[in-house]
Structure 1
Amino acid sequence: MASNSIKEDTITAHSVEQDTHIVEHEQAQNVEKSNSNSSANASSQQQLLGFAKKFSLDAQFLPESKQAPLEDRAYRRKKLDELRQQKNMEEIMLRAAQYCSDATITDRADQDWFSHFVRLAEGISNKTMQNLWAKILAGEISHPGSYSLKTLQMFRTMSITEAKLLAKACSLAVSDCRKKNIRVISGGYQIPKFFNFFNRQRQQRLDLNQAGLSYADILTLADNHLVFEQEAESHALAKGEKIQFNYNGKPLSFTAKKNDAILTFYKFTPIGTELAHLVSDSIDDNYLTTMKTQLAENFIIEG
């Protein structure tokens, strides 16, 4: 019995010592963060060592006499990971609170959805991505059903670069008034017939690349299931028929100047449509002017 008591005390002391090291390590990390700008241009070896230290994987870089036992190193890395996850989620919760209102809501968010959200978001430390996850949480709390679990899973695999690409696509996109059907207009044309077959102005294409969205970007968005890769078309409009859109909070109408005028566009997927609600309205005036000019053969664009 006495030997068991001594063993338990040893384990307890060992745990306290390990926790102390973890806190000290976290404090050291904060110092490292303050110097992150100066180390941004470090060599690949230096950056690798920096990650090794931050994630407690640097033992093999130390003399054997200074290496802690393997079991201790594994315990320390696990605790550091748990601390990072806790800190990440607390940051996201604080940011989400800023997007929530104090108005009473009738529906209650699903607890299972929140549990799934935590598992996916707890590893996010990038501040920009944390902000987007916070918007997702606030949006789901305010309006349950806004973000599906499939959308969460897809968003978890997105990089900050891909998120910025989605924001660029949103800045060029038009939608209906409820932002349910979102599309990036790519051009327009008149259905070919005998009298207009040789008219070179019958079909127009918008240069989306000039607006900052290349075809390669479209393919990247499609790979992330945010837009459909194949272009879609509107129905054939009669002369004088109007289609009303919303362009980032601004009304925008297309009126056909000829019979059988058609708009072409890249349509957002259901996942892309849900995530588009994270992006603030941002009108690109140059793109709007270009669209009015390049599609003027078949449409009058007002807005």
Structure 2
Amino acid sequence: MSIHVAEDVLSQDVQEPSDRDVDDDWLYFWRDYEGKVSAEELQELWGRVLAGEVKNPGTYSVRTLDFLKVLSREEAELISKAAQFVIDGRIFRGKDEFLEESGLILPQMLHLQDIGVLSGLESLGFKATYTSIKPDCFYLGLVASNRILLIEGEDTNKEAEAEVYLVTSIGREVLKLASFKVNEGYLKSVAKDYVKKGFKVSVADWTWVSDREGRYSNRIEITDNA
């Protein structure tokens, strides 16, 4: 089944595939691990892994394959729930009402940390400090799956800060496998936090056109009342 899932994913992908070949050692590990999976949901997961690696070799490390081989169906479902709250590789703190509505209360979040997907749950978390990508004004885009948060301001030296939980390197690779859309209420709540800090903030649809580039459309400005 995993092979069929990979074929289906690749047939629907609009991005151009890489001209590089999948590493033979990686493919050996994939075949060995995938062959021991029986649950249908996990077979689909392994199919997505293969599709991602075929499309862009090096996307999933052998270390991530080791992680996935011991992943339970319940843990995979938990990761899928968390995926809808990831913005630029982070989950923003102070949004418990949105997480709890999706069944992500503290024990579940701590478990995601225990298995190596998140970090920063045991303390006050981390502070993310964002700077402008333009020299003449503040401009920044934070991608959240199918959406993007656009933050703008006149002062290019201004910093946009937020308290966050970090998604680990393995977590980032695993989250690429989840088929999800960002939680819209949560995204707009994060946007409003930056509005209150004096930034002009918009949200828009986001489409990847390559592994490093994308484009946005249907941009909507966020205000305190929006």
TM over 0.5: yes
Counterpart pick for 2:120 among 225, 229, 234: 229
Alpha-carbon distance change, 299 to 287 in structure 1, aligned in 2, over 3 angstroms: farther
TM-score (norm 2): 0.71
1:93 maps to 3
Q: What CA deviation, in whole Å up to 9, does each residue of 1:46-105 have, x standing for no partner?
A: xxxxxxxxxxxxxxxxxxxxxxxxxxxxxxxxxxxxxxxxxxxxx222222222359774
Q: Could you say if the C-alpha distance between residues 237 and 106 of structure 1 is closer, same or farther in structure 2, counting changes exceeding 3 Å?
A: closer
Give, in whole Å, the separation in 1 of the partners of 2:144 and 2:130: 22
SS in 2 for 1:174: coil
Q: Higher RCO, 1 or 2 (CA under 8 Å, sep at least 6)?
A: 2
Query: Superposed, which structure 2 residues align to 1:216-295 within 5 Å?
Result: 216-230=107-121, 231-235=125-129, 241-254=138-151, 262-293=161-192
Alpha-carbon spacing, 1:120–1:104, altered in 2? closer, same or farther (3 Å): closer
Which of 76, 79, 83 is residue 170 of structure 1 equivalent to?
83
Q: How does 1:91-170 map to 2 (within 5 A)?
A: 91-101=1-11, 105-170=18-83
**Are the aligned partners of 2:10 and 2:55 in contact in 1 as well (CA < 8 Å)?**
yes
Distance 2:159 2:54 in 1: 45
Distance (Å, rounded) in 2 between the aligned partners of 1:142 and 1:133: 14
State the distance in 2 between where 1:127 and 1:133 align. 10
Rounded to whole Å, the distance in 1 between the matches of 2:23 and 2:151 is 41
1:187-198 equivalence runs, <5 A: none
**What SS does structure 2 have at the residue aligned with 1:253?**
strand
Q: Secondary structure at the match of 1:120?
A: helix
Aligned to 2:219: none
Q: Whole-Å Cα distance in 2 between the matches of residues 299 and 152 of structure 1?
A: 43
Q: How many residues align?
A: 188
The Cα offsets for residues 248-268 of structure 1, whole Å up to 9 and x where unpaired, read as: 222213457997762111111
Aligned 8 A contact 1:166 1:276 in 2: yes
| Mean Cα deviation higher: 249-258 or 225-234 | 249-258
Q: Matches of 2:140 and 2:25 in 1, distance apart?
A: 41
What displacement does 1:270 show? 0.9
TM-score between both structures, scaled by the size of structure 1: 0.54
* Structure 1, gaps ≥5 residues long: 1-90, 176-181, 187-204
**2:18/2:57 contact within 8 Å kept:** no
User: Does the residue aligned with 2:119 lie in a helix, a strand or coil?
Assistant: coil
1:223 partner amino acid: D
Does the CA-based 8 Å contact 1:109-1:141 persist in structure 2?
A: yes
Q: How far apart, CA to CA, are the structure 2 residues paired with 1:242 and 1:279?
A: 29
Look up the equivalent residue of 2:59 and give its one-letter code.
Answer: S
Greater gyration radius? 1
Aligned identity (percent) is 23
Work out the CA distance in 1 between the residues paired with 2:126 and 2:17. 40
What corresponds to 2:216 in structure 1? none
Distance 1:236 1:110 in 2: 36
User: Could you say what secondary structure the match of 2:120 adopts?
Assistant: coil
Q: Distance in 1 between matches of 2:90 and 2:100?
A: 18
Name the SS for the 2:107 alignment partner.
helix
3-state DSSP of counterpart to 2:178: coil
CA distance in 1, matches of 2:46, 2:181: 20
Q: Relative to total residues, which structure has the larger strand share, 1 or 2?
A: 2
Deviation (angstroms), 1:150: 0.6
Structure 2, gaps ≥5 residues long: 204-226
CA distance, structure 2, for counterparts of residue 159 and residue 104 of structure 1: 30
CA offset digits 1:181-221 (Å, max 9, x no partner): x11111xxxxxxxxxxxxxxxxxx32254443323222111
| RMSD, aligned α-carbons | 2.9
- Contact 2:84–2:181, Cα closer than 8 Å, also in 1: yes
Residues 183 and 268, structure 1, Cα contact 8 Å, conserved in 2: yes
Report the CA distance shift for 1:263/1:257 in structure 2 as closer, same or farther (over 3 A). Answer: farther
Deviation at 1:235, TM superposition (A): 2.6
Alignment of 1:215 with 2:99, yes or no, is no
The equivalent residue for 2:214 is: none
- The residue type paired with residue 7 of structure 2 is A
